[in-house]
Amino acid sequence: MDAVFDILAAHPEANAIGAVAALLGGIWPLLKTRTGMLWAQAAIHVGMCMHFLLLGALSGSLMNALGLGQVLAAIPLGQRPGFKKVYLAYLPIIAAGAAYTWAGQVSLFAAGGLALLSLARYQTDILRFRILMLAAIVSWTVHDILVLSIPAMTLDALSFTFSLIMIRRERRLAKAQAAL
């Protein structure tokens, strides 16, 4: 337990910002609309970008900055199909960002996490969106373990847990509607 406090004490500003973003990690999966979930994720990207920058985890910081732009491009996908081209244009930018900040596995899992987030956010069906988010969370968790980010690991745990709960809820609702 002392090791956890040592890690947190080593970067108090970074961890305070990360803690706020982690709290949002427990909220976004509980939102019922795709747009609401995306706006909450945008706020998380801002906080985690600053958190990772202050930790010196440049790949994580850049991927979160790119994730912010990408989530903003994902919001109108359901109503404006023309945005699909703008949205898909982010994929090569993610690869370029990973190459630019390359630090081995850390960069691989940060870019992989954002690429999986991209795939999830491309979905307009909420259940598919939620299921694909689980894969993205796993990739980010590996990144967060490698950079020793306790707030980010907390964010991952909250997001994963509440995502599973909401997936179960969505499936129950779908079964109930099919039974009608």
Q: pLDDT at residue 9 above 90? A: no
Burial call 15-53: b when 16+ CB within 10 Å, e when fewer: bebbbbbbebbebbbebeebeebbbbbbbbbbbbbbbbb
End-to-end CA distance of the chain: 52
128-146 pLDDT, tens digit per residue, is: 999 999 999 999 999 999 9
Which is nearest to 31 in space by CA: 128, 140, 170?
Answer: 170
Res 8: pLDDT: 77
Residues of the chain by 3-state class (helix, strand, coil), percent to 5:
85, 0, 15
Whole-number Å distance between alpha carbons of 90 and 16: 29
22-72 pLDDT, tens digit per residue, is: 998 889 999 989 999 999 999 999 999 999 999 999 999 999 999 999 999
> How does the average pLDDT of the chain come out, rounded?
92
Whole-number Å distance between alpha carbons of 38 and 132: 14
% of the chain residues with pLDDT over 90? 76
